[in-house]
Amino acid sequence: MTTPRAAALAGVLFAVLFGTSLVLIRTALPEGAEPGSQWIEGASAQLRVSAILMPFAGITFLWFIGVVRDGFGTYEDKFFSTVFVGSGLLFLAMVFVASAVGSGLAASRAGIPDVTVMDEVALLGQGMLHTLATTYGIRMAAVFMMSLATIWLRTGLMPRWLVIMTYLVALGLLLAADISMWLTLAFPLWVLVVSIVLLVRAGVIDLRHDSPDSDPR
Protein backbone atom coordinates (compact mmCIF):
# COMPACT_ATOMS: atom_id res chain seq x y z
CA MET A 1 0.00 0.00 0.00
CA THR A 2 1.40 3.40 -0.98
CA THR A 3 2.01 6.12 1.59
CA PRO A 4 -0.94 8.36 0.54
CA ARG A 5 -3.33 5.41 0.60
CA ALA A 6 -2.03 4.22 3.96
CA ALA A 7 -2.40 7.71 5.43
CA ALA A 8 -5.90 8.03 4.00
CA LEU A 9 -6.99 4.65 5.32
CA ALA A 10 -5.60 5.42 8.77
CA GLY A 11 -7.27 8.83 8.72
CA VAL A 12 -10.66 7.44 7.78
CA LEU A 13 -10.47 4.78 10.50
CA PHE A 14 -9.40 7.37 13.06
CA ALA A 15 -12.19 9.76 12.08
CA VAL A 16 -14.82 7.03 12.42
CA LEU A 17 -13.51 5.53 15.67
CA PHE A 18 -12.65 8.81 17.38
CA GLY A 19 -15.82 10.54 16.22
CA THR A 20 -17.96 7.67 17.47
CA SER A 21 -16.16 7.67 20.80
CA LEU A 22 -16.67 11.43 21.20
CA VAL A 23 -20.38 11.15 20.44
CA LEU A 24 -20.74 8.37 23.01
CA ILE A 25 -18.97 10.44 25.67
CA ARG A 26 -20.90 13.60 24.86
CA THR A 27 -24.29 11.88 24.91
CA ALA A 28 -23.40 10.03 28.12
CA LEU A 29 -22.35 13.27 29.81
CA PRO A 30 -24.50 15.98 28.23
CA GLU A 31 -23.74 19.61 28.98
CA GLY A 32 -25.58 20.80 32.06
CA ALA A 33 -26.24 17.27 33.31
CA GLU A 34 -26.49 16.70 37.03
CA PRO A 35 -23.47 15.16 38.80
CA GLY A 36 -23.80 11.41 38.89
CA SER A 37 -25.58 11.20 35.54
CA GLN A 38 -22.82 8.96 34.20
CA TRP A 39 -23.96 6.26 36.64
CA ILE A 40 -27.22 5.85 34.78
CA GLU A 41 -27.08 2.39 33.25
CA GLY A 42 -27.19 3.55 29.65
CA ALA A 43 -24.62 6.29 30.18
CA SER A 44 -22.12 4.02 31.91
CA ALA A 45 -22.44 1.52 29.05
CA GLN A 46 -21.69 4.30 26.55
CA LEU A 47 -18.57 5.30 28.48
CA ARG A 48 -17.36 1.71 28.52
CA VAL A 49 -17.85 1.35 24.76
CA SER A 50 -16.04 4.65 24.23
CA ALA A 51 -13.12 3.43 26.34
CA ILE A 52 -12.92 0.29 24.19
CA LEU A 53 -12.90 2.25 20.92
CA MET A 54 -10.42 4.93 21.98
CA PRO A 55 -7.22 2.79 21.97
CA PHE A 56 -7.94 1.67 18.42
CA ALA A 57 -8.55 5.28 17.42
CA GLY A 58 -5.18 6.12 18.97
CA ILE A 59 -3.42 3.37 17.02
CA THR A 60 -4.84 4.60 13.73
CA PHE A 61 -3.90 8.19 14.61
CA LEU A 62 -0.30 7.15 15.27
CA TRP A 63 -0.28 5.43 11.89
CA PHE A 64 -1.73 8.57 10.31
CA ILE A 65 1.04 10.71 11.83
CA GLY A 66 3.72 8.29 10.68
CA VAL A 67 2.65 7.96 7.08
CA VAL A 68 1.89 11.67 6.70
CA ARG A 69 5.36 12.51 7.98
CA ASP A 70 6.90 9.90 5.69
CA GLY A 71 5.15 11.63 2.80
CA PHE A 72 7.13 14.82 3.44
CA GLY A 73 10.23 13.12 2.08
CA THR A 74 13.07 15.55 1.42
CA TYR A 75 10.71 18.48 2.04
CA GLU A 76 10.55 17.77 5.77
CA ASP A 77 11.23 20.79 7.97
CA LYS A 78 12.73 19.63 11.26
CA PHE A 79 11.24 22.45 13.32
CA PHE A 80 7.66 22.15 12.12
CA SER A 81 7.88 18.36 11.96
CA THR A 82 8.89 18.32 15.63
CA VAL A 83 5.92 20.52 16.52
CA PHE A 84 3.68 18.37 14.31
CA VAL A 85 4.70 15.09 15.94
CA GLY A 86 4.92 16.49 19.48
CA SER A 87 1.49 18.11 19.42
CA GLY A 88 -0.01 14.97 17.91
CA LEU A 89 1.42 12.80 20.68
CA LEU A 90 0.30 15.25 23.37
CA PHE A 91 -3.19 15.30 21.89
CA LEU A 92 -3.28 11.52 21.93
CA ALA A 93 -2.06 11.40 25.54
CA MET A 94 -4.76 13.85 26.65
CA VAL A 95 -7.43 11.87 24.84
CA PHE A 96 -6.30 8.61 26.44
CA VAL A 97 -6.32 10.16 29.91
CA ALA A 98 -9.78 11.67 29.34
CA SER A 99 -11.05 8.31 28.15
CA ALA A 100 -9.57 6.62 31.21
CA VAL A 101 -11.30 9.14 33.48
CA GLY A 102 -14.62 8.42 31.79
CA SER A 103 -14.08 4.69 32.10
CA GLY A 104 -13.15 5.12 35.75
CA LEU A 105 -16.33 7.07 36.41
CA ALA A 106 -18.40 4.28 34.92
CA ALA A 107 -16.48 1.56 36.79
CA SER A 108 -16.74 3.32 40.17
CA ARG A 109 -20.52 3.17 40.03
CA ALA A 110 -20.70 -0.05 42.03
CA GLY A 111 -17.94 0.84 44.48
CA ILE A 112 -19.37 4.02 46.03
CA PRO A 113 -22.55 3.31 47.99
CA ASP A 114 -22.81 6.83 49.47
CA VAL A 115 -24.82 9.02 47.09
CA THR A 116 -23.23 12.26 48.35
CA VAL A 117 -19.71 10.95 47.87
CA MET A 118 -20.70 9.53 44.50
CA ASP A 119 -21.91 12.93 43.30
CA GLU A 120 -18.70 14.60 44.48
CA VAL A 121 -16.58 12.05 42.64
CA ALA A 122 -18.76 12.52 39.57
CA LEU A 123 -18.33 16.29 39.67
CA LEU A 124 -14.55 15.95 39.89
CA GLY A 125 -14.43 13.34 37.15
CA GLN A 126 -16.66 15.27 34.77
CA GLY A 127 -14.59 18.40 35.30
CA MET A 128 -11.36 16.52 34.61
CA LEU A 129 -12.79 14.87 31.51
CA HIS A 130 -14.04 18.15 30.07
CA THR A 131 -10.80 20.00 30.84
CA LEU A 132 -8.58 17.29 29.39
CA ALA A 133 -10.68 16.97 26.25
CA THR A 134 -11.22 20.65 25.49
CA THR A 135 -8.84 22.97 27.35
CA TYR A 136 -5.80 20.79 26.64
CA GLY A 137 -6.52 18.01 24.16
CA ILE A 138 -8.35 19.89 21.45
CA ARG A 139 -5.89 22.79 21.61
CA MET A 140 -3.04 20.36 21.03
CA ALA A 141 -5.03 19.11 18.04
CA ALA A 142 -5.23 22.70 16.81
CA VAL A 143 -1.44 23.08 17.09
CA PHE A 144 -1.10 19.78 15.21
CA MET A 145 -3.29 21.14 12.43
CA MET A 146 -1.49 24.49 12.21
CA SER A 147 1.97 22.93 12.08
CA LEU A 148 0.86 20.52 9.35
CA ALA A 149 -0.80 23.34 7.41
CA THR A 150 2.43 25.35 7.62
CA ILE A 151 4.41 22.42 6.21
CA TRP A 152 1.89 22.09 3.38
CA LEU A 153 2.06 25.82 2.70
CA ARG A 154 5.86 25.83 2.53
CA THR A 155 6.11 22.71 0.38
CA GLY A 156 2.97 22.88 -1.74
CA LEU A 157 2.22 19.23 -1.00
CA MET A 158 -1.50 19.89 -0.50
CA PRO A 159 -3.96 22.26 -2.21
CA ARG A 160 -4.13 25.84 -1.01
CA TRP A 161 -7.83 25.64 -0.10
CA LEU A 162 -7.09 22.80 2.33
CA VAL A 163 -4.28 24.80 3.92
CA ILE A 164 -6.56 27.81 4.43
CA MET A 165 -9.38 25.66 5.78
CA THR A 166 -6.96 23.97 8.18
CA TYR A 167 -5.75 27.30 9.55
CA LEU A 168 -9.31 28.54 10.03
CA VAL A 169 -10.54 25.40 11.78
CA ALA A 170 -7.44 25.27 13.97
CA LEU A 171 -7.85 28.91 14.96
CA GLY A 172 -11.49 28.29 15.81
CA LEU A 173 -10.56 25.34 18.02
CA LEU A 174 -7.84 27.33 19.77
CA LEU A 175 -10.18 30.19 20.62
CA ALA A 176 -13.50 28.42 21.16
CA ALA A 177 -12.62 24.94 22.43
CA ASP A 178 -14.15 25.61 25.86
CA ILE A 179 -17.54 26.63 24.49
CA SER A 180 -18.77 23.11 23.81
CA MET A 181 -17.30 19.64 23.78
CA TRP A 182 -19.15 19.06 20.51
CA LEU A 183 -16.53 21.29 18.86
CA THR A 184 -14.03 18.47 19.30
CA LEU A 185 -15.81 16.71 16.42
CA ALA A 186 -14.24 19.29 14.10
CA PHE A 187 -10.90 17.51 14.42
CA PRO A 188 -11.94 14.03 13.22
CA LEU A 189 -14.00 15.69 10.48
CA TRP A 190 -10.88 17.57 9.36
CA VAL A 191 -8.87 14.33 9.35
CA LEU A 192 -11.62 12.77 7.23
CA VAL A 193 -11.42 15.63 4.71
CA VAL A 194 -7.62 15.28 4.51
CA SER A 195 -8.02 11.53 4.01
CA ILE A 196 -10.50 12.04 1.17
CA VAL A 197 -8.09 14.45 -0.54
CA LEU A 198 -5.32 11.86 -0.21
CA LEU A 199 -7.59 9.16 -1.65
CA VAL A 200 -8.46 11.39 -4.60
CA ARG A 201 -4.78 12.09 -5.24
CA ALA A 202 -3.95 8.40 -4.98
CA GLY A 203 -6.61 7.61 -7.58
CA VAL A 204 -8.79 5.60 -5.21
CA ILE A 205 -11.60 8.14 -5.59
CA ASP A 206 -12.07 9.54 -9.09
CA LEU A 207 -13.89 12.86 -9.14
CA ARG A 208 -13.26 13.51 -12.82
CA HIS A 209 -16.20 13.42 -15.17
CA ASP A 210 -15.90 12.23 -18.73
CA SER A 211 -16.10 15.02 -21.27
CA PRO A 212 -18.88 14.92 -23.91
CA ASP A 213 -16.30 14.15 -26.60
CA SER A 214 -14.73 11.25 -24.77
CA ASP A 215 -15.17 7.72 -25.99
CA PRO A 216 -17.78 5.97 -23.81
CA ARG A 217 -15.83 2.76 -24.19
What string of pLDDT tens digits covers the 217 residues of the chain?
556 677 788 899 999 999 998 888 778 766 666 655 555 555 677 878 888 899 999 999 998 898 888 778 777 788 888 999 999 999 999 989 888 887 777 777 666 666 676 677 777 777 787 788 888 888 999 999 999 999 999 888 889 999 999 999 999 999 887 777 778 889 999 999 998 988 887 665 555 544 444 444 4
- pLDDT of res. 211: 42
SS3 readout for 146-209:
HHHHHHHHHHCCCCHHHHHHHHHHHHHHHHHCCCCHHHHHHHHHHHHHHHHHHHHHCCCCCCCC
Provide the angle, in degrees to the nearest 10, between the axes of the packed helices 78-107 and 3-28.
30
CA-CA distance, 131 to 118, in Å (whole number)?
20
- pLDDT of res. 90: 94
Residue 148 near residue 7 (C-beta atoms within 8 A): no
Residue 33 near residue 105 (C-beta atoms within 8 A): no
- pLDDT of res. 33: 60
- pLDDT of res. 210: 45
- pLDDT of res. 80: 86
Reading phi first (left if > 0) and then psi (alpha if -120 to 50, else beta), residue 156 is in left
- pLDDT of res. 190: 94
Residue 25 near residue 132 (C-beta atoms within 8 A): no
- pLDDT of res. 214: 45
> Helix or strand or coil: residue 2?
coil
- pLDDT of res. 179: 77
- pLDDT of res. 168: 95
CA-CA distance, 137 to 130, in Å (whole number)?
10
